Amino acid sequence: MSASLVTHVGYCRATGKRKFATKRDARIIRRRTAGHGLSVYHCTACEYWHIGHHGDLSRDEHRQRRSA
């Protein structure tokens, strides 16, 4: 039997990351995998949860700082 306690709903088109239905699901998986330094965040593109960094956000911030 597989321990599928966590709802796996596929992959995000925008980031290619795994999507999780709830924040709790993502945190459980992060704990199981090598999630050192990774955070759980809500993706605005797919409206699901991901494990990782806010790559797009920091890039936007960087661009704003450059043009300022």
| 40 strand-pairing partners | 51
Site string for Zn ion, 4-43 (x = CB under 5 A): --------x--x---------------------------x
Residue closer to Zn ion, measured from CB, 40 or 43: 43
Half-sphere exposure for 42 (CA within 13 Å, toward CB): 5
CA distances from 16 to 1, 10, 27, 42 (A): 28, 9, 18, 14
Nearest distance in Å: CB 27, Zn ion: 16
Nearest distance in Å: CB 67, Zn ion: 27
